[in-house]
Structure 1
Amino acid sequence: MSKREQQKQQRRQHIIEIAKDLFLDRGVQTIQMQDIATAADIGIATLFRYFPKKEFLIVAATNAITAEMATDVGGIVEQTMTAYEKIEQILDYYMGIIKDPELRLAKFFESFDLYEKIAEESPEQYAEYLSARSKLASILLTLSEQGKQDGSLRSDVELDVFIMTMVQNFSLFTYKSSLTKHDTDLSRLLSTDKQLTMMKDVFLRYIRS
């Protein structure tokens, strides 16, 4: 890669990081392209050369966040402990999202649902989107083999399918439930923390050897 191409890639990543922080802190809907250009210290025309649509930048920010989460989950998987313990820590990791009083990540992913189809309009963006999701999936799939080897997970179920289904639905429920509003009585009964703790317990009881 030439020096010019390296600089171009570095600027692109810088723009994505700036946009990601702005989207998380102030919300996707309120941030305009000019806000991002100003924060990144570039001209608006330069920004549009990299990202012709705000929606493409939202997808890029989503990819960056997913990549960061894959790194975090990968760090858990690389630790010296049983596969069962790793899965427990991964579920705790997702539960940590609701500890943010602003629920920034949950709100961001809720907004992204409106733009997900936009990713397909840009081959480069869509490839990154698939790659980021695939990386996280690949990390999770290593747990089934580890569980078979260390004997901490059940051997009479399709571990690949169950682990992927469990983690994906647990993470989605974390985002959705944290933003769901109930009346006062129902809120006490169906607190997000209480529901997630129960779901975690059910999943772990089912998968334990």
Structure 2
Amino acid sequence: MTSTVPNEGRRERKKRETRERISDVATGLFLDRGFEAVTIAEIAEAADVSVNTVYNYFPAKEDLFFDREEEMIDRPARTVRNREPGESAADAILGGMRRDIRDRSLYAGLTEGYDTFMRVVRESPVLLARLMVMQQRTADRLRETLREETGAAPDDPTPELVAGQLVNISNVVFRSAVRGIAEGKPKDEVARESLAKLDVFETLTTDAFLNYATRGGR
């Protein structure tokens, strides 16, 4: 789907549209036939571009599948950076997860067809490996954001431990939701289960964790 970007020049717009077209075509082929079965040459032909053009926009085949990788990796860290006064890191991230669940968002694994997307991932060792790297990079990005936000010393393990737990609960809830949708459960039921998991998680954690990196000003 072509989007619009404010104050975007004609050259930048054409490049973005070409990138989006290649990505959309590739995603359709991957979902239809599986990641391993589709070649870059087939993607280029279907998108009506050269193979070199595909590689110019997507240096690796996995980049075509995870075309929103940087956005996904930065999302928890960005949520913490944008938290409100009086809000902790856990408040911001868990609150965002609850909103995603209520909105039936793709970030909560509740978007129609996302179970097919994840099935393609599970069937590909290359994509599974890339997903693991993405999850580690997400935790690392959040760790560094927490360290910056709190002024923690370089040898303080707290930012790493908090980041790891927050990214892990997000992954647990997401995987469970995708699995539930794949099993044919109604979205409302899966959403209720996801919210319940977050509630249980909060009861199992300490106040020190839940209040870590609370932003001042309120």
Q: Shift of the alpha carbon at 1:36?
A: 3.1
1:86 — aligned with what?
Answer: 92
CA–CA distance in 1 between the matches of 2:139 and 2:100? 15
Which one-letter code corresponds to 1:117 in the other structure?
A: V
The gaps in structure 2 that reach 5 residues or longer are: 1-13, 152-157, 208-218
CA–CA distance in 2 between the matches of 1:24 and 1:49? 13
| Structure 2 contact 25–43 (Cα < 8 Å) conserved | yes
Listed one character per residue, the Cα deviations across residues 108-132 of structure 1 (whole Å, up to 9, x for unaligned) are 1221121233787xxxxx6x983x4
User: Does 2:126 match 1:117?
Assistant: yes
Q: Shift of the alpha carbon at 1:137?
A: 1.6
Change in CA separation of 1:146 and 1:87 when aligned onto 2, cut-off 3 Å:
farther
- In the TM superposition, 1:46-85 aligns within 5 A as 46=51, 50=55, 57=61, 59-81=62-84, 82=87, 83-85=89-91
Which one-letter code corresponds to 2:176 in the other structure?
A: F
Aligned to 2:64, what secondary structure does the other structure show? helix
Q: TM-score under structure 1 normalisation? A: 0.58
Which one-letter code corresponds to 1:103 in the other structure?
A: G
User: Does 2:181 match 1:178?
Assistant: yes
1:41 — aligned with what?
Answer: 48
CA–CA distance in 2 between the matches of 1:172 and 1:26? 23
Q: Shift of the alpha carbon at 1:48?
A: 9.7
CA–CA distance in 1 between the matches of 2:52 and 2:123? 22
Which one-letter code corresponds to 2:78 in the other structure?
A: G
Structure number with higher helix proportion: 1
| Structure 2 contact 31–117 (Cα < 8 Å) conserved | yes
Listed one character per residue, the Cα deviations across residues 134-190 of structure 1 (whole Å, up to 9, x for unaligned) are 4312233357669989xxxxx9xx535432331221222222222212xxxxx47x9
The gaps in structure 1 that reach 5 residues or longer are: 1-9, 121-125, 150-154, 182-186
CA–CA distance in 1 between the matches of 2:64 and 2:165? 29
